Amino acid sequence: MEGSELDKRRQAASDFLFGLWQAGAVTDRLPAEAMPASRREAYAVQALVEKRSARPRFGWKIAATSKAGQAHIGIGGPIAGRLIAERAFDDGAELVFGRNRMRVAEPEFAFRFARDVPPRAASYGVDETLAAVGSLHPAIEIPDSRYVDFAHVGELALIADNACAHEFVLGRAAPDSWRSVDLAAHPVHASVAGKLERDGSGVNVLGDPRIALTWLVNEVSGLGITIKAGEAVTTGVTMTPIPIAVGDAVRADFGPLGSVAVTFRNS
């Protein structure tokens, strides 16, 4: 396919998905003429969605970092999405529940970079990646999708729809002692006030949140993109996603690493 036709297909996918987000609507699938033909092209559709933001990118997310999550949506590994600044919030945020259809909150380990991580041919290792990190944060992701049945549309359609990225709450930075903590074994406790208690740990995030972070760095590097100083990366849900509804108050407790909370109102 020639460049101009490829550009038209990417733009068509971006326009279609953005229109659905703006209307709070959903679709069974991307139109055939808008469907990305490759993983790289699907990420290019993401980039066009990001360009609609008036502010610099807040960071990145990883979806499907557990085998159960990958099996649920029928893909063979994790995928990356962009965190849009207008949809990123601080600890204690009160968010409008709106038309969210996935209706889950996901407690996650998030990392914030202290310096740029530029793209390169050689893969980044875990230690090198962590050396570029400035802080660790407890976080809650609130995903959503523009597909009626997101579990069966396939990897390329999910990537194009920004890997189900929607809203994101970043907690305060953990003490610097986090660098000596075994994040794979570190427990996370979540609660919905008056309704639910749930436990998880870092092992559910590709075996270790630090491994997941390194995967994301290399995925983005392969796209020729620099992760900028100040950007956050949230590494994937540490437990079975928590069902939420209007009026719920969600809290994720990471013990000595801190906690993060969010509440949901109707309008």
pLDDT tens digits for range 90-130: 999 999 999 999 999 999 999 999 999 999 999 999 999 99
Q: At what angle do helices 3-23 and 39-50 cross, to 10 degrees?
A: 60
Confidence (pLDDT) at 92? 98
Residue that has been written with the tokens 């969605």 in this structure = 49
Structure tokens at 148: 């009626």
Structure tokens at 2: 């020639």
Confidence (pLDDT) at 260? 98
Confidence (pLDDT) at 64? 95
How far the first Cα of the chain sits from its last, in Å, is 45
Confidence (pLDDT) at 267? 82
Confidence (pLDDT) at 126? 98
Of 245, 266, 233, 139, whose CA–CA distance to 192 is shortest? 245
| Residue environment code for 110-137, b if the CB has 16+ CB neighbours within 10 A, otherwise e | bbbbeeebeeeeeebeeeebeebbebbb
pTM: 0.97
- Spans of the chain, pLDDT less than 50: none
CB-CB contact of 170 with 137 (8 Å): yes
Residue 192 phi/psi, 5° resolution? Answer: -115, 115
Confidence (pLDDT) at 1? 58
Cα 22 to chain centroid distance, Å, stands at 20
Confidence (pLDDT) at 96? 97
Structure tokens at 20: 């659905």
How many CB atoms lie under 10 A from the CB of residue 191?
16
What is the number of H-type helices and E-type strands within the chain? 6, 13
Paired sense of beta strands 242-243 and 232-237, if any: unpaired
State how far the Cα of 140 lies from the Cα of 106, in Å rounded to an integer. 5
Any idea what the Cα angle at residue 146 is, between residues 149 and 160, rounded to 5°?
Answer: 100
Residue 223 phi/psi, 5° resolution? Answer: -90, 0
Residue-range domains of the chain with CATH:
55-265 (3.90.850.10)
3-state secondary structure of 39: helix
Task: Name 161's Cβ contacts closer than 8 Å, sequence gap at least 6.
Answer: 17, 145, 146, 147, 150
